[in-house]
Amino acid sequence: MLLKNEFSWSKSRDELFKECKRKYYFDKYGFWNGWNQDSEERTKKLYQLKQLSPKQVWLGKIVHESIEHFLTELKLGNTIPLPTLLSILQQELESRYHSSELGVYRTFPKKGGLLEHELKTNITEEEKQQLFKLAETCVTHFYHSNLLKEIKELKHDAWLSLEDFLSFDFEGTKIYLSMDFAVKNKDTIVIYDWKTGKDQDTEIGIQLACYALYAIQTWKINPQQIVIKRYHLAIDKENEFRIDETTIHQTKEIIRQSIKEMKNSLSNPEQNLAEEINFPQTQDTWKCLRCNFRRVCNLV
């Protein structure tokens, strides 16, 4: 049975569309069926390139998985000591880095890899160790954080979500999101989001607002019952956000307009069909230097 490429929306999809229409086409349409051996070579290459991540994103995924592993064990009644957790983290970093360096992703695309290895961008041993050290710092900060203390004080049946890939319907369009962690504390839903980057947010942003939309629809609560906590792992800082009706209204308008612009680029919106010619390359060519699909675009 052939899989159908259904139209959907997410914050990352919106960012990609704004960054470069051609990159958006490759990532959401051009790669489709690239997992099949009988597909065209270009399609298979696009599928392979789609799985790659720049080093900071690559690092973030592994840190998230480490925290997820710790919390999963915690729910089972097992507390992993920090040295053990860091040892597991380092083994995973080394294994995946080595696999990417060898180009294993070219044969097994779903294993993913570092974009830098594909583009042959040199990562020095010092840069590699700094990267690994950042991962260790992020996990250590989480382990000693007030946020984790809060989580430990709650009963496990209060846990609502842990690193789940979620979706909800918005005016006939499926909205996808990945929520790090959510709990119910009395009459309040607390949504946690952790980031490995060093920049600290001061505003709620569209991603966190989408979490609120999901919570309202799924858990049948009102905006005033939602608290969102974003924890910046690298710098051990937490920001707390509250939701109001204005935020919900503005978020819906942003999503609505974004969906409209995306569908206007399609050759057949009803069938979610796209043609590459309708998705021009960005004029900001500096963005091309760090693009997964750079060589497919003939920009070397």
User: What are the boundaries of each domain within the chain?
Assistant: 51-144, 149-257
Q: Which residue has the higher pLDDT, 185 or 170?
A: 170
Rounded mean pLDDT of 2-7? 88
The percentage of residues in the chain with a pLDDT greater than 90, rounded to a whole number, is: 84
Report the pLDDT value the prediction gives residue 78, as an integer from 0 to 100: 94
pLDDT band at 298 (very low <50, low <70, confident <90, very high): low
| Averaged pLDDT score across all residues of the chain | 93
The phi and psi torsions of 189 (rounded to 5 degrees) equal: -100, 125
pLDDT band at 186 (very low <50, low <70, confident <90, very high): confident
pLDDT band at 164 (very low <50, low <70, confident <90, very high): confident
Q: Tokens representing 264? A: 């206007």
Count of other CB atoms within 10 angstroms of residue 128: 15
C-alpha span between 182 and 32 (Å, rounded):
33
Helix, coil or strand: residue 184: strand
Distance of CA 229 to the CA centre of its chain: 17
Q: Is 230 within 8 Å of 195 (Cβ atoms)?
A: yes
Overall CATH class of domain 149-257: alpha beta
Question: Quick check: 257 pLDDT over 50?
Answer: yes
Report the pLDDT value the prediction gives residue 2, as an integer from 0 to 100: 67
Report the pLDDT value the prediction gives residue 300, as an integer from 0 to 100: 44
